[in-house]
């Protein structure tokens, strides 16, 4: 994985000192809160309900064991012993003191991490497919391109005061595991018929109060023009994105109002101009970065097992509890790997009744140790608020599972109704209208206790505590949106969303529910699905086939 | 002829200037006026103006002011780069809500003079102008980027 | 009644105006009445508190100060899902009214 050189290190070190100076000027009263707020936000420091919150970037979701241990240390030294992993491959600390923030940033910098541009109206952390470098179906590892974008976007002099925040996502396979088309710019790395590498640009997607699926703006940008094209997209947005209304300031509104064709025309014009100016990094830079992402040296398949061998060896071991323990976890939480004898193993941060995405410092250290011993010192933060050991030998799975199980990290529920994406909601967030976490806790308990999780199969449930949609409710097979109804929490149910390659936006079922009501409603819609499904149909497939009416009828009829 | 005396900043209001030539000592005209009249040498760009309208007239312009009514409105950064990319070599002055923490970015986008509404602390400003020893992106300042340095022969 | 709240500038902690300073405990909050605006401006300028604001509240039968809005009730106690991290107070009935 990527390692800082002295230039990268100097940049983050300088940024820490710059922020230390800004925080000092704020505490001395030389900056007003209005002046300081955008500066602290560009260093990831929010003021939330209970305290300052620090959002730390984990670029394209990749980190090593030492970095995960550093995150654990920060959780204990400056926070309350835990952190929250987010859908955009960040970690958030909920209880950071302003007077400690620069020290925490300095600790991050020592481990090649930062909180730069994790908030503010600038280019945010670049996210990527969490299976990058491991998935069987990818054209190439998308992370070198994400790192190139990270460097280009860091302290970009022209794009630091954009109309609104700006999120990039980079994938490199037909499958979309990163909600690529729900980003401001989604990039898919592709190869053309001639075998040349290039980038598809999807521009103007997003969730929030006006969810939109990004249209394709350019089918093939030659890879040595990637940065130039991104610069053109951003410049058109910086100049013409709306600044009169915060809620209409995202690029999706610009693309929508101009129309994708006119936006594209303007970008192409700017692109031609910028090609003549010459803003692309030297070609060798991409090659330099790519070397860091060279695949690890996988062992010969004869030194591992395939999944059948694993089953034959493990099924007879009662300590592994093949049917409902280890075997279930292997079936649910492992993902095919490009190297024979290997899989990627999902570490669920969704224990039944737990807080989605939260991990204690001790859990982070256990995960770090497993990465060091069994996954070439590599970890990923998943878009689904879980963690991932990207490269593990199938033969090592029993010992990995046992360690995870002992630490409460082995919930066998990837992509099930227990694998809920939930924003922090009104328990932590100053923007929220309703709580999200308690709903996630109760729904996962309800389905786990009744044994229906396994029966229902793949079902993506996503919960947001306000219209900003950090919990991706628009993109849930089932989505829940918390609203404030006359001072009490109320929840709107929606169905039919997806953030995968079959991307779609969910539709609201009808009037909202109270907390108990919406939990019952989730059960009701899964009842309708189970009654109506044909062989092999997922919830979303059945919904698409039978439409909203049968669900509405069951809910309100 | 548009009365232009009261539009724009005067040389007295310029706190930082990185040029050796004499500053223009008269006011600026709007972009519309600049396009309509043939003798204006100083113009003021508001955030909503299209800087590219000025490109036919760059030869005669000695001063372009870019107004930042609020520091959070970043359109002026693009305006500045567009002018420099087109070869404008005259004074490019950032005026308005210009604060310490925006100075280094403005410098990189091609501004070479600064007339903040509220005078800035000289020490803070000096630190801000010198913030980055190295930079990641190509910009109007034509500095060699980190990537350039990594791959120099 | 009107009570004043904000976050401590340096620590970020939720604080409540107690008539002479800022307390961590909502039960210490006092009615700021017509002086709210003046106190808020003065205290923010003095950098003792960040973005303070006035909210409606009442006092219940047990003598506890109860903010009117759910958001401020959560702020007064802490995250409902992490009661182990709650603001340490003697008010054992708080969780009954927060939602």
Segments making up each domain of chain A, as ranges: 6-110, 134-290, 301-406, 421-556
pLDDT in tens, C54-91: 999 999 988 999 999 999 999 999 999 999 998 887 67
C7-23 pLDDT tens trace: 999 999 999 999 999 99
Which CATH number is A6-110's, of 3.40.50.740, 3.90.550.10, 3.90.480.20, 3.40.47.10? 3.90.480.20
Name the CATH superfamily housing domain A134-290: Sulfite Reductase Hemoprotein, domain 1 (3.30.413.10)
What CATH class has A421-556?
alpha beta
Residue A108 sits at the vertex; the CA angle it makes with A105 and A110, to the nearest 5 degrees, is 115
pLDDT (mean) for A247-276? 98
Smallest CA–CA distance, residue A275 to chain B, in Å, is 11
Number of residues written out for chain A: 557
Tens of pLDDT, residue by residue over A337-371, are: 999 999 999 999 999 999 999 999 999 999 999 99
User: What is the distance between the alpha carbons of residues A497 and A243, in angstroms, rounded to a whole number?
Assistant: 29
Site of tokens 């230390």: A20
A152 and B75: CB-CB below 8 Å? Answer: no
- pLDDT (mean) for A459-485: 97
Q: What beta strand segments (E) does A6-140 contain? A: 45-47, 52-57, 62-63, 82-85, 90-96, 127-128
Chain B residues with beta carbon closer than 8 angstroms to that of A30: 121
Which tokens in the block code for residue C89? 């107070």
> Residue A529 belongs to what H/E stretch?
helix A515-532
Residue A390: which H helix or E strand, with range?
strand A387-393
Q: Per the structure block, which two tokens stand in for A531? A: 């009654």
Cα–Cα nearest to A240, from C76, C61, B52, B57: B52
- CA gap A250, A238 in Å, rounded: 10
* 8 A C-beta contact, residue C44 and residue C4: no
**A/C touch flag: 3 or more CB pairs below 8 Å:** yes
pLDDT in tens, A291-318: 999 999 999 989 889 999 999 999 888 8
Q: How far apart are the first and last CA of chain C?
A: 20
Instruction: Provide φ and ψ at A57, rounded to 5°.
Output: -80, 140
CA B109 remoteness from chain centre: 8
Which residues lie closer than 8 Å to A37 by C-beta, 6 or more apart?
none
Tens digits of per-residue pLDDT, C21-33?
Answer: 999 999 999 999 8
> So what's the pLDDT on residue C94?
83
Query: Which residue from A minimizes the CA distance to C70?
Result: A487
Domain regions of chain B by residue span: 11-150
Report the alpha-carbon distance of residue A358 to residue A485 in Å, rounded.
28
Phi first, then psi, for residue A491 (nearest 5°) are: -130, 130
Contact A510, A532 (CB under 8 A): no
- DSSP code of A206? B
pLDDT over 50 (residue B4): no
Q: Across the interface, do A95 and C70 touch by the CB < 8 Å criterion?
A: no
**Which parts of A335-429 fold into alpha helices (H)?**
361-374, 397-406
Over range A410-423, report the average pLDDT: 97
Contacting chains of A (3 CB pairs or more, <8 Å) are B, C
Q: Tokens representing A260?
A: 């994708």
Determine the distance in angstroms separating the CA of B91 from the nearest CA of chain A, rounded to an integer.
19
Please give the angle made by the CA atoms of A503, A508 and A514, to the nearest 5 degrees: 130
Q: Are strands B29-30 and A185-191 parallel, antiparallel or unpaired?
A: unpaired
pLDDT in tens, A137-189: 999 999 999 999 999 999 999 999 999 999 999 999 999 999 999 999 999 99
Q: In the structure, do chain B and chain A come into contact, i.e. share 3 or more CB pairs under 8 Å?
A: yes
Partner-chain contact C47 A29, CB within 8 Å: yes
Among residues B86, B79, B77, which one has the least CA distance to residue B104?
A: B77
Architecture in CATH of B11-150: 3-Layer(aba) Sandwich (3.40)
From A161, A278, A282, residue closest to B147, measured CB to CB:
A282
Work out the end-to-end distance of chain B between its first and last CA atoms, rounded to an integer number of angstroms.
56
Query: In which band, very low, low, confident or very high, does the pLDDT at A495 lie, cut at 50, 70 and 90?
Result: very high
Residue corresponding to tokens 């970690």: A91
Query: By percentage, how much of chain A surpasses pLDDT 90?
Result: 95
Confidence of residue B6 (pLDDT cuts 50, 70, 90): low
- Chain B residues touching chain A at CB-CB below 8 Å: 47, 50, 71-75, 77-78, 81, 85, 99, 101-102, 104-106, 108-109, 121, 124, 127, 131-139, 145-151
Average of pLDDT values for A420-445?
A: 97
Phi, psi of A407 (to 5 degrees): -100, 5
* Shortest distance, CA C33 to any CA of chain A (angstroms): 23
Q: C80 vs A427: CB contact, 8 Å cut-off?
A: yes
Give the pLDDT score at B9. Answer: 83
Contact between chains at A489 and C99 (C-beta distance less than 8 A): yes
- What are the residues whose beta carbons fall under 8 Å from the beta carbon of A398, sequence distance 6 or more? A310, A314, A317, A320, A326
**Separation CA B105–CA A72 (nearest Å):** 34
Closest residue to C12, CB basis, from A27, A97, A484: A97
Query: Which of helix, strand or coil describes residue A374?
Result: helix
What φ, ψ does residue A48 adopt, rounded to 5°? Answer: -100, -165
Tell whether the model's pLDDT for residue B3 goes beyond 60.
Answer: no
Asked if the Cβ–Cβ distance from C69 to A96 is below 8 Å, we say no
Which stretch of A2-16, A528-542, B4-18, B114-128 has the lowest confidence by average pLDDT? Answer: B4-18
Q: Check A99 against C74: CB less than 8 A apart.
A: no
Query: What's the CA angle centered on A165, arms A159 and A170, to 5 degrees?
Result: 85
Q: What is the mean pLDDT of chain A?
A: 97
Q: Between chains, do A438 and C81 touch, taking CB under 8 Å as contact? A: yes
Count interface pairs A-C at CB distance under 8 A.
70
CB contact under 8 A, A427 and C81: yes
* Per-residue pLDDT, B2: 42
Say what the pLDDT of residue A402 is: 96
Rg of chain A (C-alpha set): 23
The number of beta carbons lying within 10 Å of the beta carbon of residue A435 is: 29
Three-class secondary structure assignment of A262-309? HHHHHHHHHHHHHHHHCCCCCHHHHHHHHHHCCCCCCCCHHHCCCHHH
From chain A, pick out residues whose CB is under 8 angstroms from the CB of B50: 239
Out of A98, A427, A430, whose CB is closest to C79?
A427
E-strand spans in A425-515?
A: 461-464, 478-485, 488-495, 507-508
User: Do A134-290 and A421-556 agree at the fold level?
Assistant: yes
Neighbours of B119 (CB within 10 A): 10
Comparing CB atoms, the residue among B99, B109, B136 nearest residue A152 is B136
What is the biggest distance separating any 2 CA atoms in chain B, rounded to whole angstroms? 56
CA dihedral C48, C51, C55, C61 (to 10 degrees): -40
What is d(CA B107, CA B95) in angstroms, rounded to the nearest whole number? 13
Q: Among candidates B56, B153, B82, which has minimal Cα distance to A158? A: B82
Q: C–B contact (≥3 CB pairs within 8 Å)? A: no
Is B100 a residue whose pLDDT tops 60? yes
ipTM here: 0.96
pTM: 0.96
What number of helices (H) and strands (E) belong to chain B?
A: 5, 6
- Of B50, B85, B147, which has the smallest distance from its Cβ to A281's Cβ? B147
How close A281 gets to chain B, by Cα (Å)? 6
Has residue A20 got a pLDDT over 90? yes
């Amino acid at each position: 994985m990527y390692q800082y050189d002295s230039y990268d290190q100097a940049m983050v070190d300088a940024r820490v000192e710059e922020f230390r100076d800004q925080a000092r000027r704020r505490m001395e009263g030389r900056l007003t809160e209005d002046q300081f707020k955008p500066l602290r936000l560009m260093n990831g420091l929010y003021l939330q309900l209970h305290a300052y919150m620090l959002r730390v970037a984990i670029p394209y979701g990749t980190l090593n064991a030492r970095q995960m241990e550093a995150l654990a240390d920060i959780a204990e030294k400056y926070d309350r012993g835990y952190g929250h992993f987010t859908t955009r491959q960040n970690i958030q600390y909920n209880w950071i003191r302003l007077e400690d923030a620069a020290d925490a940033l300095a600790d991050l910098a020592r481990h090649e991490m930062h909180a730069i541009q994790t908030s503010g109206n600038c280019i945010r952390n670049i996210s990527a497919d969490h299976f990058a470098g491991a998935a069987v179906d990818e054209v190439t590892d998308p992370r070198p391109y994400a790192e190139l974008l990270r460097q280009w976007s860091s302290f970009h002099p022209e794009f630091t005061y954009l109309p609104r925040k700006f999120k990039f996502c980079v994938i490199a396979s037909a499958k979309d595991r990163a909600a690529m088309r729900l980003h401001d710019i989604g990039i898919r790395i592709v190869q053309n018929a001639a075998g040349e590498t290039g980038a598809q640009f999807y521009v103007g997607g997003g969730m929030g109060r006006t969810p939109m699926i990004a249209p394709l703006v350019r089918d093939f940008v030659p890879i040595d023009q990637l940065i130039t094209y991104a610069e053109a997209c951003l410049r058109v947005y910086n100049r013409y994105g709306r600044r009169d209304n915060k809620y209409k300031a995202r690029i999706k509104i610009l693309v929508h109002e101009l129309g994708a064709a006119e936006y594209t025309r303007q970008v192409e014009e700017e692109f031609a101009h910028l090609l003549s100016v010459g803003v692309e990094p030297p070609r060798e830079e991409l090659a330099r970065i790519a070397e860091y992402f060279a695949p690890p040296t996988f062992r010969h398949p004869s030194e591992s097992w395939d999944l059948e061998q694993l089953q034959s060896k493990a099924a007879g071991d009662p300590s592994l509890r093949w049917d409902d323990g280890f075997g279930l976890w292997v079936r649910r939480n492992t993902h095919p790997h490009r190297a024979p004898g290997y899989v990627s193993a999902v570490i669920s941060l969704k224990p039944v009744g737990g807080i989605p995405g939260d991990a204690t410092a001790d859990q982070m250290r256990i995960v770090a140790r497993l990465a060091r011993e069994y996954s070439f010192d590599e970890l990923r933060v998943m878009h689904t608020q879980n963690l991932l050991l990207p490269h593990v030998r199938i033969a090592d799975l029993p010992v990995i599972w046992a360690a995870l199980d002992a630490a409460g990290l082995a919930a066998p529920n990837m992509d099930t109704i227990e694998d809920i994406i939930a924003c922090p909601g009104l328990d932590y967030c100053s923007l929220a209208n309703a709580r999200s976490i308690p709903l996630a806790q109760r729904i996962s308990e309800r389905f786990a206790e009744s044994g229906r999780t396994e029966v229902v199969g793949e079902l993506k449930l996503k919960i947001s505590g306000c219209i900003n949609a950090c919990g991706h409710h628009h993109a849930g097979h089932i989505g829940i949106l918390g609203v404030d109804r006359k001072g009490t929490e109320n929840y709107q149910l929606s169905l039919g969303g997806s953030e995968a390659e079959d991307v779609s936006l969910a539709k609201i079922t009808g009037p909202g529910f109270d907390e108990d009501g919406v939990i019952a409603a989730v059960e009701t819609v899964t009842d309708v699905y189970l009654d109506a499904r044909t062989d092999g149909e997922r919830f979303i497939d059945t919904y698409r086939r039978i439409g909203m009416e049968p669900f509405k009828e069951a809910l309100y009829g | 002829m548009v009365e232009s005396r009261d539009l724009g900043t005067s040389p007295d209001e310029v706190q930082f200037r990185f040029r050796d030539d004499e500053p223009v000592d008269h006011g600026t005209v709007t972009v519309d006026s600049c396009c309509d009249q043939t003798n204006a040498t100083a113009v003021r760009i508001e955030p909503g103006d299209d800087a590219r309208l000025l490109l036919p007239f760059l030869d005669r312009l000695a001063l372009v002011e870019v107004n930042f009514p609020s520091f959070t409105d970043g359109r002026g950064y693009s305006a500045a780069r567009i002018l420099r990319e087109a070869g404008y070599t005259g004074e490019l002055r950032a005026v308005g809500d210009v604060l310490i923490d925006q100075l280094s970015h403005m410098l990189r986008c091609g501004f070479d003079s600064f007339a903040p509404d509220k005078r800035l602390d000289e020490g803070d400003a000096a630190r801000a102008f010198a913030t980055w020893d190295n930079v990641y992106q190509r910009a109007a300042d034509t500095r060699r980027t980190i990537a350039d340095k990594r791959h120099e022969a | 009644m009107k009570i004043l709240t904000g976050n401590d500038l340096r620590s970020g902690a939720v604080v409540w105006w107690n008539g002479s300073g800022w307390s961590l405990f909502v039960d210490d909050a006092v009615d700021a009445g017509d002086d709210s605006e003046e106190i808020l401006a003065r205290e923010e300028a003095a950098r003792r508190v960040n973005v303070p604001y006035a909210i409606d509240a009442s006092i219940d039968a047990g003598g506890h100060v109860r903010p009117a809005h759910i958001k401020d009730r959560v702020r007064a106690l802490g995250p409902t899902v992490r009661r182990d991290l709650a603001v340490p107070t003697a008010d054992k009935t708080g969780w009954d009214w927060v939602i």
